[in-house]
Amino acid sequence: MSNEMTITFESRSSNEAFARSSVAAFIAQLDPTVGELNDIRTAVSEAVTNCVVHAYKDTIGKITINVRLTDNNSAIIKIKDKGCGIEDIEKAMEPLYTTAPEEERAGLGFAVMQSFSDDVRVRSTPGKGTSITLTKKLRLRVANV
Amino acid sequence: MIPKTKLDGNELTVYLSGDIDHHTARKIREVTDALIQEKKPSRLFLNFAAVNFMDSSGIGLIMGRYRMMLLFGGSVRVVSIPENLRRIMELSGLGGLNVLERSGELSESVK
């Protein structure tokens, strides 16, 4: 059964926990394993932190997360901002590359998203914003008869 | 979250708990760094036993303390790592710095 939800919230660091918990709570209806839910929480946390730290660096803006559950048991999670955008996506995705060392960012945000989900897509326009689409396939469980 | 800490001779242990993300890492960093600067321990133990969740902010936190302790001529050991955090810790390359307690290793901080 397909299903969908959207939340919008301000880019405050205190909302990072709210964002990952909300996405996990919605996806819980697919009966994921504890490990799958932890993977989703981790990937979403990275994407939202990027919005807080980079997209809206010296300002507060809106972050929108849309989650779509598909008939084949996948969760498609889109995290969008209207912040500064990314000049060089390839560079931004390089492990250990960071533009915020003073915040002690490890430069692993995209590496973690890639490792903890099945597919990561990035679309960005400098000055307009960024959208990250994470796809997580949940393994099919045998239905109880 | 304000972490609990314990100073035993020249060994400082910081007990982390709950979720470690970009938001909570800031406070942990402040408390830990103030203590390192004040007490100048030779060993810093970061105890993760009560940590439920961590993203790459936790890696930044460990790396930052690793560099700071090096500066003071000391070392860092990450101990009591929950199984569900092993993957993100190992993805970070922290394993190569010999700061992570191995799975099944008797915790050095338990005395």
Average pLDDT over residues B19-30: 95
Hunting for tokens 């931004």 — which residue is that? A92
Based on the number of CB atoms within 10 Å of its own CB, is B78 exposed (0-12), middle (13-18) or buried (19 or more)? buried
Is A106 within 8 Å of B87 when comparing Cβ atoms? no
The two structure tokens encoding residue A69: 């559950």
Residue A89: CB atoms within 10 A of its CB come to 13
Which among A66, A105, A121, A139 is annotated as catalytic?
A105
Q: How many Å apart are CA B40 and CA A75, to the nearest integer?
A: 48
Residue ranges for chain A with pLDDT beneath 50: 145
User: What residue spans define the domains of chain A?
Assistant: 3-137
- State the nearest Cα–Cα gap between A97 and chain B, in angstroms: 13
Residues facing B20 on adjacent strands: B54
Residues facing B78 on adjacent strands: B46, B100
CB pairs under 8 A between A and B: 65
User: Which of A96-100, B37-41, B77-81, B85-89 is predicted least confidently?
Assistant: A96-100
What are the backbone angles phi and psi of residue A79, rounded to the nearest 5°?
A: -115, 115
What's the pLDDT score for residue B91? 87
Whether the predicted pLDDT of B44 surpasses 90? yes
Residue A66: CB atoms within 10 A of its CB come to 17
What's the pLDDT score for residue B102? 83
Nearest to A16 by CA among A48, A39, A38: A48
Residues facing A68 on adjacent strands: A4, A76
Whether the predicted pLDDT of B15 surpasses 90? yes
User: What residue spans define the domains of chain B?
Assistant: 4-97
Say what the ipTM of the complex is: 0.91
Q: CB-CB: which of A17, A35, A108 is closest to B56? A: A108
Is B84 within 8 Å of A41 when comparing Cβ atoms? no
pLDDT in tens, A26-54: 999 999 999 999 999 999 999 999 999 99
Is B55 within 8 Å of A104 when comparing Cβ atoms? no
Query: Do the beta carbons of residue A48 and residue A95 sit within 8 Å?
Result: no
Nearest to A132 by CA among A69, A48, A40: A48
Q: Is A46 a catalytic residue?
A: yes
Q: How many Å apart are CA B58 and CA B65, to the nearest integer?
A: 11
Q: Chain B residue with minimal CA distance to A104? A: B60
Which among A20, A36, A41, A46 is annotated as catalytic?
A46
Q: How many Å apart are CA B34 and CA A50, to the nearest integer?
A: 27
CATH of domain A3-137: 3.30.565.10
Q: Which residues of B lie inside 8 Å of A (Cβ-Cβ)?
A: 19, 21-23, 25-26, 29, 53-57, 59-61, 63-64, 84, 87-88, 91-92
Q: CB-CB: which of B26, B53, B91 is closest to A111? A: B91
| DSSP letter, residue A55 | I
Nearest to A49 by CA among B85, B92, B47, B25: B25
CATH of domain B4-97: 3.30.750.24
